[in-house]
Amino acid sequence: MIVDSHIHLGLTVSAPCVDKSTGAVLALMNHLEIDLSISTGTALIFGRPEAGFRVALEAYRQSEERILSYAFFNPHYPEEDLSWARRCLEHEAFVGIKIHPPIAACYPDDERWNPIWRLASELGVPILTHSWWVSDYNPIQRYATPDRFEHYVKTYPDVNLILGHAGGRYEGHLAAAKLARAYPNVYVDFSGDSYSFGLVEWFVEQIGADRILFGSDLTMIDGRTVMGRILDADISAEAKALILGENAVRLFGLSR
């Protein structure tokens, strides 16, 4: 089974999208032989939880249960978002929780994130987070550096955390690998535009293939940029199968 564990349904106005429809996502999944995808709807991320919940359920239905979803939590709206997260996760279409510290401008070790970690622990679901590194042109990423997740990773060893984008840039990759080496509940995915030469091989060497996931960042980025790098990497066939699907099957408890 091939699983894309990091996609988005919906539109983000600053990122022009050729075709945001679920049908287009499904067509590309079929073309690339991706069995399942796990989405965070942009409506959930940007403060329209009810609409986001409906979009997720509709995608689940339209895709014949092939497009699953993450619930979402913004720490500045703890009661409302916690309630929505709980409601989402009662439905079988939802298999994890997404957080995005830079969008909330809230450091990952801030106490305001505690309620969602507690919920993840209670329900036994993984958390996917955006992770990145600071650059001159992208200073907001100071809220997403992998080292700042250590507090909760340590506090909740039963919650698996996926560092989406594996830290984003070179220094972030180093920090992501360091955190993953220290804590067995830390995973990474290669979604986004972290295209460094040798990155896939380096991560497999650093943390092993069993905590790396295939994620594309569809519909913001074309997933073929990620899949090609994994298929052609200098790693074993077993490692490629783990990354492209088997790890996600185990982590999210997926089985068909």
Partner 1 sequence: MYDVSVAPDTQARVGRLMTQYREQKKTLKFLDSNLWLGRPMQPGFCSRWELNALVGYMDRYAIEGGIVTHNAAVVEDPYAANEELLGQTEGNGRLLSGLVLTTDLPPGYANWGDYLDWALSKGARMVRLFPKSHRFSLESWCSGSLLDSVNERHMLLTVWHIEVGWGAVRMLCERYPELPVIVEGRPQKILYHNRFFYPLLEQYQNLYLELHNLNVYLGIEDIVRRFGAEHLIYGSCMPVNDPNTSQMMVTAARIDEEARRQIAHGNLESLLERIQMP
Mention every residue, 6+ apart, whose C-beta is less than 8 A from residue 170: 133, 196
CB 225 → partner 1: shortest distance, Å?
5
Position 64 contacts partner 1 (CB under 8 A)? no
95-114 residues in contact with partner 1 (CB under 8 A) are: none
Looking from the CA of 158 toward its CB, the CA atoms found within 13 Å total: 9
Is the bond preceding residue 219 a cis peptide, omega within 30 degrees? yes
Alpha-carbon span 63 to 232, nearest angstrom: 29
Question: Which candidate, 130, 116, 125, places its Cα nearest to that of 8?
Answer: 130
How many residues interact with partner 1 (rule CB under 8 A)?
51
Token pair of 110 as six digits: 């801030």
CB 221 → partner 1: shortest distance, Å?
5
DSSP string, 113-156: GHHHHHHHHHHT--EEEE----BTTBGGGGGG-GGGGHHHHHH-
Token pair of 171 as six digits: 């220094």
Choice from 56, 59, 240, 254 touching partner 1 (CB under 8 A) = 240
Position 158 contacts partner 1 (CB under 8 A)? no
Site map for partner 1, 29-48, x if CB under 8 A?
--xxx---------------
Strand partners, 100: none
**Among 11-19, 69-77, 114-122, 156-164, the segment contacting partner 1 (CB under 8 A):** 11-19
Cβ 22 vs Cβ 67: under 8 Å = yes
Q: Is the four-CA dihedral 58, 94, 74, 141 of positive or negative sign?
A: negative
Choice from 208, 212, 213, 256 touching partner 1 (CB under 8 A) = 208
Alpha-carbon span 126 to 186, nearest angstrom: 10
CB 109 → partner 1: shortest distance, Å?
26
Position 1 contacts partner 1 (CB under 8 A)? yes
CB 211 → partner 1: shortest distance, Å?
9
Query: Is the CB of 86 or the CB of 170 nearer to partner 1?
Result: 170
Token pair of 166 as six digits: 């594996």
Query: Is the CB of 1 or the CB of 123 nearer to partner 1?
Result: 1
Choice from 71, 127, 218, 254 touching partner 1 (CB under 8 A) = 218
Choice from 4, 81, 189, 246 touching partner 1 (CB under 8 A) = 246
Give me the residues that bind partner 1 (CB under 8 A), please: 1-2, 14-19, 24, 28, 31-33, 137, 170, 193, 195-202, 208-210, 218-225, 227-229, 231-232, 237-242, 244-247, 250
